[in-house]
Homo-oligomer: A and B are copies of this chain.
């Protein structure tokens, strides 16, 4: 297949301008960096970090709530929490009202690791936000919102 043939065969959207492609690349980069920082600073994984961030801001949390707020896979959440309890980073409290459910909270050890990683993660977050001005930041989050809605409305497309 020659380049000329391709040019004739219709309008192609350049790779660099595809939202999903750019999204994937940026996500891969940020993810890899988070993983490195978290491993080096506190020896924790990104999934563990995310659980702790939610607990830190919402207080004691159940897997259900976590899934609801983050849309992460409940299987992953279940396994991550299980591992964290085993490693003494979290402790579980069974719920009175629902025997299926339980809440988790950070132990001293978990909190200590969280505090070790936080300055680095925060600095990173701040620097990421600082590379955009206020308008750009707002526009970015707005676009994220719109894209999420668009994705959902596209599920009919199959």
**Closest CB of chain B to A40's CB: distance in Å?**
6
Q: Is A50 an interface residue (CB 8 A)?
A: yes
Q: Is A94 an interface residue (CB 8 A)?
A: no
Q: Count contacts on A: residues with CB < 8 A to the other chain.
A: 82
Q: Are B26 and A144 in contact (CB under 8 A)?
A: yes
CB-CB under 8 A from A72, the residues of chain B are 28
Give this chain's copy count.
2
Q: Is A95 an interface residue (CB 8 A)?
A: no
Q: Is A93 an interface residue (CB 8 A)?
A: no
Q: Is A98 an interface residue (CB 8 A)?
A: no
Q: Are A9 and B119 in contact (CB under 8 A)?
A: yes
Q: Are B127 and A33 in contact (CB under 8 A)?
A: no
Q: Are B157 and A8 in contact (CB under 8 A)?
A: no
Q: Are A139 and B143 in contact (CB under 8 A)?
A: yes
Contacts A71-B28, A148-B25, A158-B40 known; A6 to B57 CB distance under 8 Å? yes
CB-CB under 8 A from A2, the residues of chain B are 59, 123
CB-CB under 8 A from A21, the residues of chain B are 50, 53, 70
Give the 5 A-B residue pairs with the shortest CB-CB distance, closest first. A131-B150, A27-B27, A5-B119, A3-B59, A9-B119
